[in-house]
């Protein structure tokens, strides 16, 4: 599994809430950095088919192809997570 060096083209769509490297800045939004790839794929499928009924995610994912989704999942799973800031 070679690390994708360049960010996926659609990264901006996700980065708006999850941050470009998966450190979420918005309340209620999960960190994605270093998350398990198969879990990210699972969650994305559930957002896409509505089993996870989160309109903003369904809208964001709607126009993406399977390949684009997978590249985004791989990107975030490769990012190094940050210890929580507990200030």
- Write down the least CB distance from residue 46 to a copy of itself, Å: 8
Q: Count interface residues toward a copy of itself (CB under 8 A).
A: 27
Picking from 1, 4, 26, 16, the residue whose alpha carbon sits closest to that of residue 76 is 4
> What is the closest distance, in whole angstroms, from the C-beta atom of residue 39 to a copy of itself in the complex?
4
Could you tell me the sign of the dihedral formed by the alpha carbons of 3, 40, 61, 20, in that order? Answer: negative
The token pair at 82 is: 């940050």
- Per CB under 8 A, does 5 bind a copy of itself? no
Query: Residue 33 interacts with a copy of itself (CB under 8 A)?
Result: yes
């Amino acid at each position: 599994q070679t690390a994708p060096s360049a960010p996926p083209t659609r990264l901006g769509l996700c980065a708006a809430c999850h941050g470009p490297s998966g450190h979420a800045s918005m309340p209620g939004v999960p960190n994605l950095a270093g998350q398990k790839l198969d879990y990210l794929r699972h969650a994305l499928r559930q957002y896409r088919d509505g089993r996870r009924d989160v309109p903003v995610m369904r809208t964001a994912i709607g126009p993406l192809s399977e390949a684009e989704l997978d590249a985004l999942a791989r990107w975030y799973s490769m990012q190094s997570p940050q210890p929580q800031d507990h200030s």
